[in-house]
Chain A
Amino acid sequence: MGKAEFNVLWLQSGGCGGCSMSLLCADTADFRGQLRQAGINLLWHPSLSLETGQESLDVIQDCLSGRTVLHVLCIEGSILRGPEGTGRFHLLAGTQEPMMKWVQRLSAVAQHVVAIGTCAAFGGVTAAGSNPTDACGLQYEGDQVGGLLGSDWRSRSGLPVINVAGCPTHPGWVLETLAALADPQPITADQLDALGRPRFYSDQLVHHGCTRNEFYEYKASAEAPGDLGCMMENMGCKGTQAHADCNIRLWNGEGSCVRGGYACISCTEPGFEEPGHRFDQTPKVAGIPIGLPTDMHKAWFVALASLSKSATPKRVKLNATSSHVVVAPMIKKTRLK
């Protein structure tokens, strides 16, 4: 593409570092080459840069002073506001100052601010339970807009925080977001969804491309961990509601949560960390799952489910509660008679 350098600074706060580890799993034989190809210059990254201590603080200072143009500030991990608003649960090493303050200062000079992962976007797992650190996202606290920077905040480019949510987030989502921002015609507001997520991945549902679709069609349900059947009815699966292209794009080669034998827990959505029920069980009222597929009317769901259940082929029914295929599909003649 041969464009001018597009400077990206990546910092971590209240998270596990897993989004960075995931980033390194990007589907490329030349990770650095892919960044270069998009014109991206990684100013500093916690796992990938030589600079340490004072050298890395210098990189940050140069961004603040304007000596270096900060095109994108990537924040991984939630913002720890506690205790009592002091931010002292995370002091940026070497500075004795709350990370929260550094993020505010850098956000003010960045062209774009990108929340890497659900923690940085919405608070995520760090905000679960009693939320002991008063963790929040950059511009959201759960599904409430606000967070650290406030609902009206916009970056120098005029965009809100771009929320590349996921726990961890997918390396492809991150690299494509950065590449799209580095493009001469960068992302516009209408390319983000109502929660600030890039629509190139959030306009899909995890359900799309799910390999268990035949089981879903017949409501042939898994009953125990490792069963092949649809995990929506019993196992807590939210793939029909979760916004992400996990089963189209896939993870680490051939993976996705449902292909790994467990339920989608909707990790790209705000509040996924506190679903109000056990993660591995579907909450029900009168035997009907509370969380129905997105855009589906309940009455239709109930009617279709009962009809499809009674139409379930024996093969599908038996395989649904087995850990491997016990009945193979019948072979049919493909030619017309």
Chain B
Amino acid sequence: MTRLLVGPFNRVEGDLEVRLDVADGQVRQAWVNAPMYRGFEQILQGKHPLDAMVYVPRICGICSVTQSVAAARALAAACGVVPPPNGVLLTNLMLACENAADHLTHFYLFFMPDFTREVYAGRPWHAQAQQRFSTVSGEHAREAVAVRQRWLQIMGTLGGKWPHTQSIVPGGSTRGISSSERYRLGARVAEMRSFLERVLYCAPLEEVVALGSVDALTQWHARDPLRGDLRLFLSIAQDLALEDLGRGPDLTLSYGAFAEPGGGYAMAPGVWNGSTLQAVNIAQIAEDARHAWLADGGAALPPAVGLTLPQIDKPEAYTWNKAPRLDGQVLETGALARQLADGQPLIRALWQRSRGNVMTRVLARSLELARLVILAEQYLRTIVPEAECCVATQLPDHVDTYGLCEAARGSLGHWLSIREGRIANYQIIAPTSWNFSPRDRQGTPGALEAALVGAPVAEGDRTPVAVQHIVRSFDPCMVCTVH
């Protein structure tokens, strides 16, 4: 048995370390460590509740808007207000913008560069991968950064800047748009559509979104297996059997994405177990700190009464992340989970075949990216220029509340208690808190810890490439995870 300590794990957001026990060329056990703690939940204690709108986006530089939205929803619920339709649409447009930028960043900058590694020299696709995704000279990676920059100009207009906007408030948005701004933003959306249709898919977005079965995907891929970066990925996935790599748990979670004005979601919420979609029962969520360098509380605690108190010399602890569980169970969250909950037929069929894995996670994210751009177009059309986007709010002095949102990488929840007009407790469960959770008090490993078991490790390889594919397939955000 060999023990490997892999880190710093880059091309993920934030700090990550993975400890592996390796025998006979395979990972036998894995432990995931989030090695940095900042203590936002402690920082927020005693603050005015609206000051959270300044602090929480700064939890994360890549899911910043999502953090704002979760807090704004919690505070809106506390105030008993519903933002006007225009405010909801503007917020949805910003969420679509951030999530799409994150999916694009993940594909071109974080995930695909691993296929340019020398270990793959000689594979039929390697030269193409290098030409497109090299971190130094990749032509498509370079274009992706450029189009991302233009796309995030939507955020400049709607949010003043990205990351870290304060235009999202409990009552809606502080920034409406004029009709001339709508034209300009429309031009930015068109640039993204054009890039995706020309470079990523080599197909219209609508064609990608409509892929409805495994057969349809197989035919779409076979038509031109190296043309377009998604098809190239599918070719690589086939060659390297990525569908057999990094199997996820049997449950997935989505809080529902893009709450529509007047109710409902553009992407339905739910817990998917392979046969039925169950409603998310928030009351069943609890966080177990047994293996975190944090005070344990004696049991797994629901976030509404959660506790965050560093305890650095705790035996058994190996990470700053707690272990969230739904009714005691490990689950996976992210684009895959959203598409499963929403009933995307291709993703459901693949999940039935092979569960979450490196291939299905990346494919689900890629299909969702097409959908996000179509949604952005729709929101932009629906926004009414120069109409009300914000309502007045009055916070109660004493309330317990929560707000949920879907970040690019999965389900995010904020739980807070207000006492005498101040934040008394603030607890955050981020997407990667779920996916990269440590073991719980029953000893059950988190989703990534389990997914890494069985990953091949070449003799003498201290940074196994298969482990990298698995880790990055989740698109982790470690700064959110520990906060």
Contacts known (A20-B61, A92-B8, A252-B152); A260 close to B159, Cβ less than 8 A: yes
Residues of B within 8 Å of A262, CB to CB, are 160, 165-167, 169, 174
Q: How far is the CB of B223 from chain A (nearest CB, A)?
A: 31
**Chain A CB within 10 Å, residue with most, of B5, B39, B59:** B39
Q: Which residue of A lies closest to B471 (CB)?
A: A52
Residues of A within 8 Å of B48, CB to CB, are 278
Interface size on B, residues (CB 8 A): 89
Q: Tell me which of A25, A89, A133 contacts B152 (CB under 8 A).
A: A25
**Any A CB within 8 A of the CB of B29:** no
| B174 A261 Cβ-Cβ under 8 A | yes
Q: Tell me which of B10, B17, B169 contacts A49 (CB under 8 A).
A: B10
**Any A CB within 8 A of the CB of B21:** no
Q: How far is the CB of B344 from chain A (nearest CB, A)?
A: 28
**Any A CB within 8 A of the CB of B427:** no
Q: Tell me which of B13, B58, B169 contacts A167 (CB under 8 A).
A: B58
What bracket does the count of chain A residues touching chain B fall in? 35 or more
Query: Which chain B residues in 255-307 approach chain A with CB under 8 Å?
Result: none
Residues of B within 8 Å of A51, CB to CB, are 10
| A279 B50 Cβ-Cβ under 8 A | yes
Known: A31-B149, A129-B47. 18 other contacts (CB 8 A): A13-B36, A18-B64, A21-B62, A22-B61, A30-B146, A54-B462, A80-B38, A86-B312, A92-B7, A93-B17, A168-B164, A225-B174, A250-B156, A253-B156, A256-B160, A259-B175, A261-B160, A278-B48
For chains A and B in complex, what number of residue pairs have CB atoms within 8 angstroms? 268
Contacts known (A50-B135, A129-B42, A280-B50); A324 close to B163, Cβ less than 8 A: no
| B55 A128 Cβ-Cβ under 8 A | yes
Q: Which residue of A lies closest to B59 (CB)?
A: A16
- Of the A-B pairs whose beta carbons lie under 8 Å apart in the complex, a sample of 17, sorted by A's number, is A15-B61, A16-B60, A17-B62, A18-B64, A45-B10, A48-B135, A52-B463, A54-B462, A80-B36, A93-B9, A94-B8, A226-B173, A226-B174, A253-B188, A257-B160, A259-B175, A280-B51
Provide the B27-49 mask, 1 if CB < 8 A to any CB of A, else 0.
00000010111110011111110
Q: Tell me which of A26, A33, A133, A257 contacts B37 (CB under 8 A).
A: A133
**Chain B CB within 10 Å, residue with most, of A16, A80, A224:** A16
**Any A CB within 8 A of the CB of B54:** yes
Query: Which chain B residues in 83-136 approach chain A with CB under 8 Å?
Result: 105, 109-110, 113-114, 116-117, 134-136
Contacts known (A226-B390, A252-B152); A279 close to B173, Cβ less than 8 A: no
| A252 B166 Cβ-Cβ under 8 A | no
| B463 A55 Cβ-Cβ under 8 A | yes
Q: Give the CA-CA distance A265 to B53 in the complex, in Å.
A: 12
